[in-house]
Amino acid sequence: MFTGIVQTIGTVQAAHRLGPDMKLVVAPGVLDRAAIRIGDSVSVNGVCLTVVSLAGNHLQFDISAETVSRSTFAWLSKGAKVNLELALLPTDRLGGHIVTGHVDGLGELIEREEAGSSVGMRFRVSAALSRFIAEKGSISIDGVSLTVNNVEEQVFNVNIVPHTLQETTLGAFSVGQQVHVEVDLIARYVERLLAVKNTAVDTTTLDKEMLATYGFMRVGDQE
């Protein structure tokens, strides 16, 4: 579990394809190397990865074919910059929002516009993702917790303040950039619960047997 508050920008040292899988080696920037152990979870551009090796000052990750197929990792090369965040501790402040590191899909930057000292960005996502995005709701872009300013069908706007531009990879984004998108966790569960609610019970056959089946009556109460 993460917060979407990026702790440092790491640098890719190696990105090797191993058939459908991949091995990624990252220099962890200013992260405390002594605080990281094999088996720890690290958010890399918003994707939760497990540290499998600590060679020198580098973090090594094994990436499955499933993750490669659903992320931008296949396009990474030596020297690329990535956002890094260590897993949330129970004592940490939740400065951003709850981020799982389970990316929902990819988005594309379609417009970048200077807005004073900040930068406004417009992203396009699939229709399947857009229904989870709400004005003033939270969203994670490449692991960065952001507030949605506006939503129009499959396009949403965010505003990137100077600190975020400097401390994350977002400052280097250009039009056409493909990014990892994770929608708000609460929106995902609400959608699922509503779907179940709308299909679970056939009210056209409302009788004592049905009420007992769904726990509204005890068997003895049917007499």
Whether 80 contacts 25, CB under 8 Å: no
The Cα 112–Cα 36 span in angstroms is: 36
Q: What is the pLDDT of residues 167-176, one digit of tens each?
A: 999 999 999 9
> pLDDT grade, residue 200 (50/70/90)?
low
Q: Percentage of the chain surpassing pLDDT 70?
A: 87
The pLDDT value given to residue 187? 75
- pLDDT one-digit tens code per residue, 97-114: 999 999 999 999 999 999
Using CA atoms, how far apart are residues 131 and 127, in angstroms rounded to an integer? 7
Write the CB contacts of 170 (distance below 8 Å, at least 6 apart in sequence). 121, 141, 142, 144, 160, 164
Its pTM stands at: 0.84
CB contact at 8 A, 181 and 140: yes
Q: Which helix H or strand E contains 128, and what residues bound it?
A: helix 127-130
User: Largest Cα–Cα distance in the chain?
Assistant: 75
Q: Give the pLDDT mean for 39-45.
A: 97
Residue 18 in this model has a pLDDT that exceeds 80: yes
What are the structural domains, with CATH classification, of the chain?
A: 8-86 (2.40.30.20), 105-193 (2.40.30.20)
Please state whether 51 falls in left (phi above 0), alpha (psi between -120 and 50) or beta: beta
3 state DSSP class of 67:
helix
